[in-house]
Amino acid sequence: MVLSMASVLALPVMAPAIAADTGLAPSLLGVYSFVMWSSAMVGSSLAGELIARLGAVRVVQVSLALCAVALGFGAIGWTPALAVVPPLVGVACAIETPASSDILARVTRPEHRTFIFSLKQTGVQIGGMLAGVVYPAALPALGWRGTMAALAALMLVWVFTLEPMRRRVDAASHATRPPAGGSGRLALVWHHRALRDLGTASFVFHAMQICLNTFLVAYLVGEHGYSLAAAGLALAVAQFGGFVGRLGFWLVIGPRLGVMTLLLAIGFGMTAAALATGLAAGVLSPLALGVLCFLFGLTASGWNGVFLAEIARQAPPGEIARVTGGVMMMSYAGLILGPVAFSAAAGAVSMGAGYVLLAVGTFVGTMVLRGARRPA
Residue 44 lies in a domain: yes
Kindly report, residue by residue over 109-157, the tens digit of the pLDDT: 877 777 788 788 888 878 877 888 889 889 999 999 999 999 999 999 9
Asked if pLDDT for residue 188 goes beyond 70, the answer is no
Count CB neighbours of 171 within 10 A.
11
Residue 17 lies in a domain: yes
Residue 102 lies in a domain: yes
Kindly report, residue by residue over 323-349, the tens digit of the pLDDT: 777 788 888 888 888 888 998 998 899
Sort residue 182 into left (φ over 0), alpha (ψ -120 to 50) or beta: beta
Mean pLDDT, residues 170-180: 53
Say how far apart CA 164 and CA 62 lie, in whole Å: 15
Residue 364 lies in a domain: yes
Residue 258 lies in a domain: yes
Phi and psi at 116, nearest 5°, equal: -65, -45
Here the CATH number for the domain that contains residue 49 is 1.20.1250.20
Residue 171 lies in a domain: no
Asked if pLDDT for residue 94 goes beyond 50, the answer is yes
The pLDDT assigned to 183 comes to 44
Asked if pLDDT for residue 279 goes beyond 60, the answer is yes
> Which range, 11-15, 300-304, 334-338, 358-362, is most confident?
358-362
Residue 36 lies in a domain: yes
Residue 14 carries which side chain, given as an amino acid letter?
M
Residue 376 pLDDT level (bands cut at 50, 70, 90): very low
The pLDDT assigned to 367 comes to 86
Domain count, the chain: 1
> Which range, 10-24, 44-58, 168-182, 273-287, is most confident?
273-287
Count CB neighbours of 40 within 10 A.
27
Domain with 318, as residue range(s), is: 2-164+183-371
More confident residue, 151 or 197: 151
Say how far apart CA 290 and CA 158 lie, in whole Å: 33
Say how far apart CA 376 and CA 374 lie, in whole Å: 6
Say how far apart CA 42 and CA 264 lie, in whole Å: 30
The pLDDT assigned to 22 comes to 83
